[in-house]
Amino acid sequence: MREYTTVLLVGVASAALAVLASTGDRQWGTATVDAEGLPARMVASTARAAAPEVGAAALVALAGLGAVLATAGRWRQLIGCVVVTAGLVVAAGSLLAGPAVESTLRD
């Protein structure tokens, strides 16, 4: 039971941090545009523009962890697989977002 509680608490904390980092107008990158004859302007790339799947998957993981508490048996295993898949999407999307952030800043 102790391991179960620890895994759930770590999972909820991780999913909540992923939701906070990837939703809203959180900036994942900034750049200063300095055109000749014009004042310098700072532009930002948000998580929503660079990697929208990360926010969605983080919300699925957070909701799934709540569903793990409400289920048992095979359903809990199935929901656990969904939570793991959502976590992998969050991790992969975050790691691969670098080129998308650069592209968004260039645009």
Count CB-CB contacts under 10 A for residue 12.
16
Whole-structure pTM value: 0.79
Q: What is the pLDDT of residues 12-28, one digit of tens each?
A: 898 888 888 888 778 88
The tally of domains found in the chain comes to 1
Residue 89 C-alpha from the chain's centroid: 8
Q: Which two tokens stand for residue 15?
A: 């999913």
Residue-range definition of the domain harbouring residue 78: 2-106
Position 23, amino acid? T
Beta-bridge partner residues of 46: 27
Q: What is the pLDDT of residues 40-80, one digit of tens each?
A: 888 888 888 788 888 899 999 999 988 988 888 999 999 98
